[in-house]
Chain A
Amino acid sequence: MGANVIRDLLDQAFPGGEIAVEDRTGGGDHFQVTVVSERFNRLSLIEQHKLVNAALAAPLADGTIHELRIRTKGTA
């Protein structure tokens, strides 16, 4: 359930982006997300990760996500 919620949030935040969500432990709270989006073009890594954190602010705040690993890439 957790992975689908996260994928939906990322789809909304990065329309047209390539998005992968992996439940690292099978427990539904440790996730690896990979996002390739044109929104990242010309942004520094930290700005890219901040956009992902912002998209997932709700599940990060309420504890749905216990651990989050992020990989981002622009399309340019």
Chain B
Amino acid sequence: MSTLQEQIKQVIDTEPVAVFIKGTPEAPACGNSMRALQALWQAGAPIAAIDVLPDPRIRQELTALSEWPTIPQVFVKGELIGGADITEELNASGELRAKIDEALGAEHPQTVRTVELALD
């Protein structure tokens, strides 16, 4: 089995839009995670959500990779775009939708999935 860091890196690299949150899209456990999810949904993003709460190592490994200290963290095509504040600002200005359409094509489906990491 690949290490936790390898799994996190793979999710970031392979999911068009990956968002690391506290809780799940159905039951966000933090207001900021909910703000990021709402902004992504409004921008039409296909969302792959990863819950950092099941194991504190998820957040440690993620922050080591991204050099971003807080949750949520939003990645589009492998690139960190920011936390809840930046995601909301980019959605309000229309840049988020433009970025997602540019990365995925305007005809991409809008879905919400939860990606589970394999923990030892």
On whether the two chains bind one another, the answer is: yes
**Residues of A with Cβ closer than 8 Å to B?**
45-46, 49-50, 53, 57, 60-61, 67-71
Selected A-B contacts with CB under 8 Å, 20 pairs: A45-B89, A45-B90, A46-B80, A46-B81, A46-B86, A49-B82, A49-B83, A49-B86, A50-B67, A50-B68, A53-B69, A53-B70, A57-B69, A67-B32, A68-B70, A69-B84, A69-B85, A70-B83, A70-B85, A71-B85
B residues within 8 Å of A by Cβ? 32, 67-70, 80-86, 89-90
A46, A60, A61, A71 — which one has the most chain B CB atoms within 10 A of its CB?
A46
Distance, CA A49 to CA B67, complexed state (A): 12
Q: Which residues of B contact A45 (CB under 8 A)?
A: 82, 86, 89-90
**Closest chain B residue to A48 by CB distance?**
B86
How long is the Cα–Cα vector from A53 to B82 in the complex, in angstroms? 11
In the complex, A69 Cα to B83 Cα: how many Å?
9
Chain A, Cβ-Cβ closest to B88: A69
A57 to chain B, nearest CB (A): 7
Assuming the A-B contacts A45-B82, A45-B89, A46-B86, are A61 and B69 also in contact, with contact meaning beta carbons closer than 8 angstroms in the complex? yes
Kindly state the separation between the CA atoms of A67 and B68 in the bound complex, as whole angstroms: 13
